[in-house]
Structure 1
């Protein structure tokens, strides 16, 4: 087996220099670094990752915790994280917290015990225990898709734990939610709809809150009143969305158009419409938040908000790397623009424009702040 001693002898340098090249523990002149890399290549030397981690206190691994990994949206986020991790020489450990507050805390502990350098997490609707654990152990963390309040505001189960969490800095990245949802509702109103229903996501998620806010803004922009009976929670799942869509359709005066809060709930809504023999858009116009690869293959083709999921994943990884390099810097919240993809399920003819382009003006970034409750829910 080739050793560091063999590499050092071939490159004509000390073992310490080889170690510095491998572990980036001290600057090495470019020519010397290249000589070491050439010797490793010629000898077929494979670094011992475990030994390296003992030297650097880093495992060059990242923990990723997102629920419903089979969801195309989160699958693309995973692809964005993985691509960035590989580019920077990091491995990825993946776990599914199932949107359960107790389970997500256990997942975070398991990843931490495996000595990941940092974590990227899509938090649940009640992340208090998660924030407490991450803050207590000062784990470098980026939250994606859903925003969270600061730990000092969220935790209230003990002064010492709250105090330790209060100094915990984390970063967040998500897509714009309110304005794209408002565009969907406004568009349906422009087509003549006056009773527009919303199948909203899991209560407590920032995405649910923000998208409900966008829904209300869209109604206000069109001069339509808000009717709470037209808003039903599908809990971000297909089965629940099917049931709650059925409830909306059973109203004495049902909606003539529906907006769904994510792609899983879109499937549930379509099933409920099919069970009642209703067609889209002849009997019910339909728009959805979350575009997905087969949305263009449905008949009719689905008008949807497309989120930059791979970019969200890549941005989350970049924020984590920056956090690892500067652990004490203030946290940042980054929002990426979403785009309205205009197809035909809304009732427009096939010749309509394919897209209105970004629903927001561009990438925005803010200092560490909780999601603004005045901006409403997210799914």
Structure 2
């Protein structure tokens, strides 16, 4: 069996340098790093991470618990976490809590039992049991996408996209196109993302001088089926909306289904815009005006925050919000570029 000393001799470097490359414990010049990696490949050396974990009390693995991993938004977040983990020499264990508080607790406990060094969690709408377990077990954690503590000095590290300003901008854009009855299909109650996007919706109406009509705020529960039913109710109202904002990508699909079945044309009869961009949004007819979240950056930042927490357990917790981008296409009624 090849050893680290064999790799060092083959690459013409010290054993300490090989260790720094393998464990990401110190910067190494790119040429030297390449020589070490080439020696590892040529010799077929396999690094014994288990032996290292016995010495350092770390497994160099982290857990990621996010629901609806098949959702393109969370898939891109996963790609960001995975890329950063790979770059820093960490392994990644993934679990799906299904947005269910009991299952959420079970999967985080499972990750903990597998001795991950810390966890990244997109929490459910009712995370109290999860928080109690994390505090009791003293598990390093970063909350992702959804906040559990909105205080100025939070108790936990958190990273999310700004949900207020982009929706406010969407409402302002629709109002500038002449819309006065702007509806919103909101997400699951209890999620910070839902609250922020509804706040942005109401702020946008106020800034445009439009009254808030509770009948135009429908709840799609963050799901396609829920959004379809909510949009059907909006369209059946005596004074239906002339524009609809769907508050995530799954609900955009549900809203599109309801509009297709009811018959109004987009954007001639009704405008439709989305919070969450699709990779294929410009292939729709008409193409979809949407808010693009920095999904991969959120994933990368979450992993960095977790590693910072592991290195400095006593540093103050912080919440980081990343800005979003409004992508203008034609479903809002704007002419094509």
TM-score by length of 2: 0.90
Query: Aligned equivalents of 1:36 and 1:302: distance in 2?
Result: 48
2:162 corresponds to 1:176: yes
Query: Aligned equivalents of 1:36 and 1:271: distance in 2?
Result: 55
The number of residue pairs the alignment matches comes to 332
Q: Using a 3 Å threshold, how does the CA distance of structure 1 residues 135 and 277 change in structure 2: closer, same or farther?
A: same
Offset of residue 90 of structure 1: 0.8
Q: Using a 3 Å threshold, how does the CA distance of structure 1 residues 18 and 179 change in structure 2: closer, same or farther?
A: closer
Query: Aligned equivalents of 1:9 and 1:47: distance in 2?
Result: 16
Query: Aligned equivalents of 2:65 and 2:37: distance in 1?
Result: 34
Q: Is the 8 A contact 1:23 1:52 kept in 2?
A: no
Partner of 1:123: 123
2:136 corresponds to 1:136: yes
Q: Using a 3 Å threshold, how does the CA distance of structure 1 residues 231 and 93 change in structure 2: closer, same or farther?
A: same
Query: Aligned equivalents of 1:275 and 1:21: distance in 2?
Result: 60
User: Tell me, what secondary structure is at the counterpart of 1:267?
Assistant: helix
- 1:279 counterpart (265, 268, 272): 265
Render the CA deviation track for 1:223-267: whole Å, top value 9, x for unaligned: 111111111110111011001111111111111110010010000
Partner of 2:242: 256
Partner of 1:376: none
User: Tell me, what secondary structure is at the counterpart of 1:282?
Assistant: coil
Query: Aligned equivalents of 1:178 and 1:226: distance in 2?
Result: 16
1:160-309 equivalences in 2 (<5 Å):
169-309=155-295
Q: Which deviates more from structure 2 when the two are superposed, residues 49-58 or residues 329-338?
A: 49-58
Please, which runs of 5 or more residues in structure 1 have no aligned partner?
Answer: 154-167, 352-379
Q: Using a 3 Å threshold, how does the CA distance of structure 1 residues 115 and 283 change in structure 2: closer, same or farther?
A: same
Q: Using a 3 Å threshold, how does the CA distance of structure 1 residues 326 and 169 change in structure 2: closer, same or farther?
A: farther
Q: Using a 3 Å threshold, how does the CA distance of structure 1 residues 169 and 53 change in structure 2: closer, same or farther?
A: farther
Partner of 1:59: 59
Q: Using a 3 Å threshold, how does the CA distance of structure 1 residues 305 and 36 change in structure 2: closer, same or farther?
A: closer
Query: Aligned equivalents of 1:36 and 1:253: distance in 2?
Result: 69
Query: Aligned equivalents of 2:188 and 2:92: distance in 1?
Result: 28
Offset of residue 189 of structure 1: 1.1
After TM superposition, where is structure 1 displaced by more than 3 Å over at least 4 residues in a row?
A: 3-15, 17-27, 33-44
Partner of 2:88: 88
TM-score by length of 1: 0.80
Offset of residue 170 of structure 1: 2.6
Q: Using a 3 Å threshold, how does the CA distance of structure 1 residues 288 and 5 change in structure 2: closer, same or farther?
A: closer
Render the CA deviation track for 1:32-84: whole Å, top value 9, x for unaligned: x9999897666433122222211211111111111111111111111111111
Offset of residue 21 of structure 1: 5.6
Q: Using a 3 Å threshold, how does the CA distance of structure 1 residues 57 and 18 change in structure 2: closer, same or farther?
A: farther
Q: Using a 3 Å threshold, how does the CA distance of structure 1 residues 25 and 300 change in structure 2: closer, same or farther?
A: closer
Q: Using a 3 Å threshold, how does the CA distance of structure 1 residues 302 and 217 change in structure 2: closer, same or farther?
A: same
Query: Aligned equivalents of 1:26 and 1:211: distance in 2?
Result: 41
Query: Aligned equivalents of 1:305 and 1:26: distance in 2?
Result: 38
Render the CA deviation track for 1:323-344: whole Å, top value 9, x for unaligned: 1111111101111110111111
Query: Aligned equivalents of 1:237 and 1:259: distance in 2?
Result: 14
User: Tell me, what secondary structure is at the counterpart of 2:282?
Assistant: coil
Partner of 1:46: 46
Offset of residue 4 of structure 1: 5.7
Q: Using a 3 Å threshold, how does the CA distance of structure 1 residues 136 and 36 change in structure 2: closer, same or farther?
A: same
After superposition, the CA RMSD in angstroms is 2.9
Q: Using a 3 Å threshold, how does the CA distance of structure 1 residues 190 and 47 change in structure 2: closer, same or farther?
A: same
Q: Using a 3 Å threshold, how does the CA distance of structure 1 residues 48 and 219 change in structure 2: closer, same or farther?
A: same
